[in-house]
Chain A
Amino acid sequence: MADAGMLRFHVPEPEVRPGGTPDFSNVPIPKAGSVPRPEIDVDPRTIRDHAFSIIRVLNRTGEAVGPWAGLLSSDELLAGLRHMMTLRTFDARMQMAQRQGKTSFYMQHLGEEAVACAFRKALEPGDMNFPTYRQAGLLIADGYPMVTMMNQIYSNEADPLKGRQLPVMYSSKEHGFFSISGNLATQYIQAVGWAMASAISNDSRIAAAWIGDGSTAESDFHSALVFASTYKAPVVLNVVNNQWAISTFQGIARGGSGTFAARGLGFGIPSLRVDGNDYLAVHAVAKWAAERARSNLGPTLIEYVTYRAGAHSSSDDPSAYRPKTESDAWPLGDPIVRLKNHLIALGVWSDERHAQAEAEILDTVIAAQKEAESHGTLHAGGKPSTRDMFEGLYAEMPPHLRRQRQQAGV
């Protein structure tokens, strides 16, 4: 027993701050292939350890090992690599476009490409994602046109959202991508509701909820877990733990719970932790959870352990709160490099082909960018009409809005 003197207030701190040497030695990284793969109808109480370990498939030499390996063909893996590379190139170009003043804002996915790109491939057509602002990989991996994404980022005349939304807040029902909101965590419980509706309707479609480590502290995270648990909703509850919520390290949201996956245990929800930079592991775990949901076995919580290698957004400077080289020290490496090495080890890829693919992807993204910019950028060229500002709020425009539209002269 410590001395029972005055109370002392506890505020968690990250291990290292700017100027310090990055150190992840306290992050236990289990060996690839070491975590068992349970049956999908497992009793969650018997896989408690899965919420504290990390499911990994790719080992250091780029081999796929263990019970979670073997689900994807090399063609599927090559496609996955291309999706991740495309997202990274897209990010770099859009980040630059923001710096050039072509739009007001951008958010990159650097280092997290595997999470959404691999997850998307575990879903079926008709399933619905409820993403945050950092899952554009869901769109890229589903073949959503990059030009349309850019049109939204530029708020130009071809913007499908008519200039009403901040950049990166995409929406595509057709591609199973729910409208993104600026309000953190709200989508998490909405995803559960969508899944409940699918069950109420005796449908076979499932929902996927997305949230970051920081936003798990929002009350809607708790709401979602309660409702998913109560109604056994066919939903996959994804937590992307990229270690950072803007400047706040994950320990502030996580507190003493050890892992975010552990949060699911108290709700009786099977909860797994997975290497978020391992495309094969992400896909395998997502597939497991999707199968559970579709088999009417209820929700699964998945924590993706990854690292936010880029700034939080184009308005953020991470060097003010973490070491500049911290991402290089991240023990789970880079998802693109790791899948690339695996494909090389399989003998279906090479450094030359990789360099060639990079060049091709860059050309494709630049061509898309040119086309998008022909429709305008935020401050130049074609833009949505002022009239669009008044349209679409209600199914039918009420009289007071009609009056205001007339006052605005449109």
Chain B
Amino acid sequence: MPRRTMIEAIRDAMDVSMGRDDKVVVFGEDVGFFGGVFRCTQGLQAKYGKSRCFDAPINESGIVGSAIGMAAYGLKPCVEIQFADYMYPAYDQLTQEAARLRYRSNGDFTCPIVVRMPTGGGIFGGQTHSQSPEALFTHVSGLKTVVPSNPHDAKGLLIAAIEDPDPVIFLEPKRLYNGPFDGHHDRPVTPWSKHELGEVADGHYTVPLGKAAIRRAGSALTVLAYGTMVYVAQAAVEETGIDAEIIDLRTLLPLDLDTIVASVRKTGRCVIVHEATLTSGFGAELSALVQENCFYHLEAPVARVAGWDTPYPHAQEWDYFPGPARVGRALLETMGA
């Protein structure tokens, strides 16, 4: 099976979707001729023409707002916000319009859009190229929120998102674009070509939204992670030697609660890790759900490892990013060690 980077997998997902359905259009800043600042749309304009893949003015509200209008017409726009940090001007359109259109019109109008956004830190991106705003989307009823962690899932989830009849926020951890990253910034990064999840089938396939994946089976403790933190958790588990079960949530909303609950009831312990800031982060929702559903099976408090409650700094990148050492400490503490 061919191996692809996450960038290539995402591009392939759009290529496959555009080839299958001429209602799929792709646009955003620098997305057309140039092929995107991360190369995710390279070649799509040449292949499908300017009316299917085009450059947009620098106006996030305009990009999402026009996509909503296109969706109301009957197209399936898959648009890009260059960095998740720059989605805020579009937040009104996303939360009050895209999320509610089906509900408020009782299905008279619908909004099958996908909004792709590179997300996450670990790249010396500073305050406005590193944010993880997923909790600002999971809090909005009517949206779906997806965070892939590898090329295989990225392609399957993106095709599923494009085909989904509802608006999907598709957060792409840019730290994972070229290879998995476990937080050991002092070691060379291995490319996706060396990783089994870099195997990406040609043609059409989907990974269903709302289904988590167990990356490592274990019995001592459950780790809930997504995006880059899946690999950080794996490193921490290897380094501590704890027999943890690592769940890659993949879709944050709708959430695969059944997989989470079954795991925590089995292990009795739960550590939640995400890059986003702690307070009111998505980890708080996960923690509450685990507590509500697994209370009588818990043998330790549910732990959260997250970004500190500060803006994402530049020079202090590795003091901020929740790396394997911090995650490892939480694993050990939760085990009572």
Interface assignment of A194: CB less than 8 Å from any CB of chain B: yes
Q: Which residues of A contact B110 (CB under 8 A)?
A: 395
- A160: B residues at CB distance < 8 A: 106, 108
In the bound complex, residues from chain B placing their C-beta under 8 Å from that of A222 are 59
Choose from B52, B59, B73 the contact partner of A223 (Cβ within 8 Å).
B59
Tell me, yes or no, whether B248 is within 8 Å of chain A by CB: no
Known contacts A161-B105, A171-B109, A220 near B75 by CB under 8 Å: no
Q: A227 near B104 (CB under 8 angstroms)? A: no
**Cβ contact within 8 Å between B59 and A171:** no
Residue of B nearest to A166 (CB): B104
Tally of A-B residue pairs with Cβ under 8 A?
147
A130 interface hit (Cβ, 8 Å) = yes
Query: Which B residues touch A181, using CB under 8 A?
Result: 96-97, 100, 104
What is the CB-to-nearest-CB distance from A293 to chain B, in angstroms, rounded to a whole number?
15
Contacts of B70 in A (CB 8 A): 193-194, 196-197, 200
Does residue A9 face the partner (Cβ distance < 8 Å to B)? Answer: no
- Interfacial chain B residues near A130, Cβ < 8 Å: 69
Contact assessment for A393 and B141 in the assembled complex, using a CB-CB cutoff below 8 Å: yes
> Does A198 sit within 8 A of B, measured CB to CB?
yes
User: Which of B60-68, B198-206, B226-234, B237-245 is the interface stretch?
Assistant: B60-68
**A8 at interface by CB-CB < 8 Å:** no
Is there contact, CB below 8 Å, between B96 and A398? Answer: no
Partner among A165, A183, A196 whose Cβ is within 8 Å of the Cβ of B96: A183
- A residues 374-408 with Cβ under 8 Å of B? 392-395, 398-400
**A186 contacts B72, C-beta separation under 8 Å:** no
Tell which of A161, A165, A201, A398 touches B75, judged by Cβ atoms closer than 8 Å.
Answer: A201
Contacts of B62 in A (CB 8 A): 189, 220, 223-224, 226-227
- Among residues of A, the one whose C-beta sits closest to the C-beta of B93 is A186
Question: Among A34-42, A83-91, A172-180, A258-266, which stretch is in contact with chain B?
Answer: A172-180
Return the chain B residue nearest A394 by Cβ: B166
In the complex, the answer to whether A219 meets B69 with C-beta atoms within 8 Å is no
- Please measure, in the bound complex, the distance between the C-alpha atom of A165 and the C-alpha atom of B106, giving whole angstroms: 10
Q: Contact at A399–B106, with CB atoms within 8 Å?
A: no
- Asked if A230 is an interface residue, CB under 8 A from chain B, the answer is yes
Q: Is A338 an interface residue (CB 8 A)?
A: no
Chain A: CB-nearest residue to B65: A189
Footprint of A on B, CB under 8 Å? 25, 51-52, 56-57, 59, 61-62, 65-70, 72-75, 77, 89, 92-93, 96-97, 100-110, 141-142, 144, 164-166, 210, 253-255, 257-258
Give 8 nearest A-B pairs by CB, closest first: A193-B69, A193-B66, A189-B65, A223-B62, A398-B254, A190-B69, A179-B105, A197-B73
Which of A's residues lie within 8 Å of B, judged by CB? 128, 130, 160-162, 164-165, 169, 171-173, 178-179, 181-183, 186, 188-201, 207, 219-220, 222-224, 226-227, 230, 392-395, 398-400
Q: Please, could you name 13 A-B residue pairs with CB atoms under 8 Å apart, sorted by A?
A: A178-B72, A179-B104, A179-B105, A186-B93, A189-B69, A200-B52, A201-B75, A220-B62, A226-B62, A227-B62, A392-B107, A395-B102, A395-B165
